[in-house]
Amino acid sequence: MPDAKDNLVNPPGLDEIIPKRVVFSVPMMDQVRVRKNLVYKVADGKPLTADVYIPGGSGPLERPAVIFIHGGPIPHNLLTPPKEWGIFTSYGQIIAASRVVGVTFNHRFYSGERLDDAQADVDDLVGYLRENANSLGVDKDRIAIWAFSGGGALLTRFLKEPPPYISCIVGYYPALDLRVMRAPGSTIDEQLLERYSVAANMAGGDSKIPPVFIARAGLDNPSLNESIQRFMHEAVGRNVMLDFCNHPGGRHGFDVLDDNDRSREIIRRTIDFIKTHSQ
């Protein structure tokens, strides 16, 4: 977490989005348990924390889990860190009420140049979850990854060298090819962009890519949607088990911004997809 001296603030545009919750709900969301602010690592001299949403009631001692990867870049001095945003608190409740453990966390995607740090944080969070699976009630061999927006770049590792314990992957309006999203005048190293462009780094040959679900927002940034199109071309060429949902009238963040039947249909299908592939 940032220090007080970092002048904590939520930028005006983001401040309007932070409280918004997902436009979908399921029964018993209010009965899930949450283990908050678990320190999964210390980086730059500060703790990085995660929240674990646990299904209520009786059931198996170990359940599949979903790790939610927030997007970026984000300011390093946010007053409200991502795991406290309405989208992630409500998704944690939704997935736990659906009988799957939900994990939200903060990572250091503060700029394009910090992608390596953000990737290291994701890797360490996965390691923490697997190492503490028994105490958290998680099946360490059934972990789904769900990334949003710029967090899509952090799916690269899971698609380039898929670990056997990743049951499936979800991307919502994800950035999947940073090469086509490079801003004019950007100083980000080309090799870095290449390394975090999913479409350029998907496994081939005998590597088994887990099932993938992609949700696209039709009214999104054109370059972001082009990155999705490039990924889809590569995924089909590699015969990936792929589910795709397009929201023609959806905005970037449709799951909190567009309260309509298509948004709810896509979210419902996503949860069914995760449960099906986490059996």
The residue ranges of every structural domain in the chain are 46-277
C-alpha angle 13-178-208 in degrees, rounded to nearest 5: 120
Give, for all 279 residues of the chain, the pLDDT tens digit: 445 446 889 998 899 999 999 999 999 999 999 999 999 999 999 999 999 999 987 677 899 999 999 999 999 999 999 999 999 999 999 999 999 999 999 999 999 999 999 999 999 999 999 999 999 999 999 999 999 999 999 999 999 999 999 999 999 999 999 999 877 777 788 899 999 999 999 887 666 899 999 999 999 999 999 999 999 999 999 999 999 999 999 999 999 999 999 999 999 999 999 999 998
**Chain centroid offset of residue 277 CA:** 17
Task: Fold for 46-277, please state it.
Answer: Rossmann fold (3.40.50)
Cβ atoms of residues 75 and 11 within 8 Å? yes
User: What are the start-end ranges of the H helices in the chain?
Assistant: 12-17, 86-97, 115-131, 133-136, 156-160, 190-195, 222-237, 254-257, 261-277
- According to the model, what pLDDT value does residue 206 have? 60
pTM: 0.95
DSSP for 6-25, written as a single string: G-----HHHHHHTTPPPS--
Model confidence over 55-112: pLDDT tens digits?
987 677 899 999 999 999 999 999 999 999 999 999 999 999 999 999 999 999 999 9
DSSP 67-102: EEE--S---TT-SS-GGGSHHHHHHHHHHHHTTSEE
